[in-house]
C-alpha cells in the first residue's frame, strides 16, 4: 500500500492534470485525480467506490471501442488494451449528462504492482478522424470544412472548450460578390487563410460566398487579438478586386455556438 505521505504528494501532482488519472494497486483502484472525480460526479476516490464498481464497467460496449468483450481469456483489461495498436486504445464513457465521450487510454506499468491509467478526452478529434475517413469533412469546392460536417462536430467543439477551460471565438468572413465565386478563387482564398491560422482552428464554408472561422482562446483579450490579426490578414489577401465584410464575436458564459452564430447575424 502507498504510504500516506507519498499518497498526498502523488495526489497533489496528479490533480494538476486535466486528463483523467486513475492509479491502481494490482486490480484495486487506490487513487484518482480531480478531473476523474469531476467526470463521474464524485468528490474523492472513496466516494467513487461507494457509488460505482469497476472502471471497466463504464466502458460502453460498442464495437468501435475497447470494452469487456474485447478482453482475451485470462488477461486483465490493462494487458488486453495495451496489446492493441495505440491508435485503437480508445474507450467510450458516459459523462454525468449521459453523453458519450471518447478517451485515448495509456497505462504506465513501470512501478511494480502499480498501474497509472491516463484517459485523454479525444471526443472532438475522434469525430474529426471518423469524418475524414469517410471523406465527409471538407467542402470540395473550396477546401474549407463543410457546413454539414461542422454542424455534426459543433457540440464536441463546445465540450472541448469546456474541457480545456477555453472560450470560443467565431468570426464571419463574407466575400462581396453578386455571383457565386468559381472554385479556383475559393480555393485560393481558403489556402491563404489556412496558411495563417492554427492547426486546431476551423475554417468552414457556410454559404456560397461566406466563411466562418472558429477558434479557442484563453480569454477575451486573446480573442480580440485574434480578431485584429484576422482583419489585418484580410487586408493582405488580394485576389482580383474582391472585398470582404468581417465580424467577430466571443463566447459569454458558455454560450452555445448556435447563439454565437445568431449574434453574428444580427
d(C-alpha 245, C-alpha 210), whole Å:
9
| CA angle at 128 for the pair 122 and 129, rounded to the nearest 5° | 85
Q: What is the mean pLDDT of residues 46-75?
A: 90
DSSP string spanning 230-266?
A: HHHHHHH---TT-EEEEEEEE--TT--HHHHHHHHH-
Per-residue model confidence (pLDDT) at position 130: 59
- For 118-172, what is each residue's pLDDT tens digit? 999 988 776 666 555 555 678 888 999 999 888 888 887 887 788 778 899 999 9
The answer on pLDDT for 266 being more than 70 is no
> Mean pLDDT for the chain?
87
Compute the average pLDDT of residues 212-226: 93
107/93 Cα distance (integer angstroms) = 17
Q: For the chain, list the domains and their CATH numbers.
A: 4-121 (3.30.450.20), 126-265 (3.30.70.270)
In the block, residue with C-alpha cell 478529434:
125
Q: What is the pLDDT of residue 131?
A: 55
pLDDT at position 47 is 95
pLDDT digits (tens, 9 = 90+) for 17-58: 899 999 999 999 999 999 999 999 999 999 999 999 899 999
Q: What is the mean pLDDT of residues 169-194?
A: 87
pLDDT at residue 156 in the model? 77
pLDDT at 148: 86
Dihedral over Cα of 136, 164, 56, 86: its sign: positive
Predicted pLDDT of residue 4: 63
Amino acid at each position: 500500500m502507498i504510504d500516506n505521505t507519498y499518497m498526498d504528494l502523488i495526489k497533489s501532482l496528479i490533480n494538476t492534470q486535466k486528463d483523467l488519472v486513475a492509479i491502481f494497486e494490482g486490480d484495486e483502484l487506490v487513487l484518482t485525480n480531480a478531473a476523474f472525480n469531476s467526470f463521474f460526479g464524485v468528490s474523492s476516490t472513496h466516494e467513487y467506490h461507494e457509488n460505482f464498481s469497476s472502471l471497466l464497467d463504464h466502458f460502453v460496449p460498442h464495437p468501435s471501442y475497447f470494452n469487456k468483450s474485447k478482453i482475451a481469456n485470462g488477461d486483465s483489461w490493462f494487458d488486453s488494451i495495451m496489446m492493441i495498436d495505440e491508435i485503437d486504445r480508445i474507450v467510450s464513457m458516459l459523462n454525468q449528462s449521459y453523453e458519450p465521450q471518447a478517451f485515448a487510454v495509456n497505462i504506465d506499468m513501470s512501478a511494480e504492482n502499480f498501474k497509472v491509467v491516463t484517459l485523454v478526452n479525444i471526443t472532438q478529434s475522434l469525430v474529426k478522424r471518423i469524418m475524414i475517413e469517410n471523406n465527409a469533412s471538407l467542402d470540395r469546392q473550396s477546401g474549407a470544412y463543410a457546413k454539414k460536417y461542422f454542424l455534426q462536430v459543433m457540440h464536441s467543439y463546445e465540450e472541448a472548450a469546456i474541457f480545456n477551460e477555453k472560450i470560443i471565438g467565431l468570426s464571419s468572413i463574407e466575400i462581396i460578390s453578386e455571383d457565386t465565386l468559381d472554385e479556383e478563387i475559393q480555393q485560393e482564398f481558403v489556402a491563404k487563410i489556412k496558411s495563417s491560422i492554427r492547426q486546431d482552428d476551423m475554417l468552414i464554408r457556410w454559404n456560397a460566398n461566406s466563411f466562418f472561422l472558429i477558434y479557442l482562446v484563453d480569454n477575451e483579450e486573446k480573442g480580440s487579438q485574434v480578431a485584429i490579426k484576422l482583419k489585418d490578414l484580410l487586408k493582405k489577401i488580394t485576389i482580383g478586386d474582391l472585398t470582404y465584410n468581417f465580424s467577430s464575436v466571443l463566447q459569454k458564459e458558455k454560450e452555445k455556438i448556435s447563439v454565437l452564430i445568431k449574434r453574428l447575424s444580427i
